[in-house]
Amino acid sequence: AQSVTQLGSHVSVSEGALVLLRCNYSSSVPPYLFWYVQYPNQGLQLLLKYTSAATLVKGINGFEAEFKKSETSFHLTKPSAHMSDAAEYFCAVSDRGGTSYGKLTFGQGTILTVHP
Amino acid sequence: DADVTQTPRNRITKTGKRIMLECSQTKGHDRMYWYRQDPGLGLRLIYYSFDVKDINKGEISDGYSVSRQAQAKFSLSLESAIPNQTALYFCATSDPGLASDTQYFGPGTRLTVL
């Protein structure tokens, strides 16, 4: 069975500071990995995804994530935080095995706060 | 217009009532999913459907049922609502033809059971 752990339920940064949101996964097969963002009172929006091509994945709004197989990690980063980045972020792993191919397992979420 | 819509957006109901949440999509995707979101628990899969004739239980299906009326419509029912079903519910769709099978989410339904 696959699983995702997001380290830190809340992360707080200053505007202009580096954003680092941590995600570790467990999967029995090479994974597809996703980061989604949820702004207040909205649904989930795809930020970026890893599908076994380049290990450094660039997404929308200046975010990127690096797939590290040896560390089973897929951490999300942004060099300079903006107030508009305040949201909840979810890491997810896709089931690529058998009849349940395509199911997502989500982490618990990390709420990012950006202060002036 | 939004690709994935959910109705209602907000609903308050009483314990024991039957309630249906509806999801419609215009993306032409075969696969549809229902999740619930609770603070600190992320999203958990309730049911999923890979085509009109295929319905599968997710990790937390007890107390819920679904109906896939057409490729574009997937409804979630609570036969007898209870307070711990108070949550934010999301519908999602995906296309198995895409290698990554990315899921696209609706805006959510906030359900409160009193």
Tell me: the pLDDT tens digits for B72-107? 999 999 999 999 999 999 999 988 766 567 889 999
Closest CA to A80 of A15, A11, A20, A35: A15
Compute how many other C-beta atoms are within 10 angstroms of the C-beta atom of residue A69.
Answer: 10
- State the Cα–Cα distance between residues B49 and B91, nearest whole angstrom: 11
Chain B residues near residue A6 by CB distance under 8 angstroms: 42
In this prediction, residues B11-15 reach a mean pLDDT of 97
In angstroms, the separation between the Cα of residue B42 and the nearest Cα of chain A is 4
Question: Residue A65: its pLDDT value, please?
Answer: 97
Pair A103, A94: CB distance under 8 Å: yes
pLDDT band at residue B2 under the 50/70/90 scheme: low
Q: For residue A29, what are the CA distances in angstroms to A20, A93, B6?
A: 26, 11, 33
Inter-chain CB proximity B100 and A51 less than 8 Å: yes
Closest CA to A108 of A45, A12, A24: A24
Residues 3-32 of B with CB under 8 A from A: 4, 31
Chain A residues near residue B44 by CB distance under 8 angstroms: 106
Strand partners, B34: B47, B91
In angstroms, the separation between the Cα of residue B43 and the nearest Cα of chain A is 6
- State the Cα–Cα distance between residues A35 and A106, nearest whole angstrom: 9
Chain A residues near residue B101 by CB distance under 8 angstroms: 32, 94, 101-102
Coil vs helix vs strand at A94: strand
- State the Cα–Cα distance between residues B3 and B32, nearest whole angstrom: 13
- Residue ranges for chain A with pLDDT beneath 50: none
Length of chain A counted residue by residue: 116
pLDDT over 70 for what percent of chain A?
A: 96
Residues 6+ apart with CB under 8 A from B93: B3, B4, B25, B27, B29, B31, B32, B33, B103, B104
Q: Is cis: bond before B8, omega within 30 of 0?
A: yes
Taking only the tens place, the pLDDT of each residue in B32-41 is 999 999 988 8
- State the Cα–Cα distance between residues B1 and A79, nearest whole angstrom: 34
Question: Residue A97: its pLDDT value, please?
Answer: 64
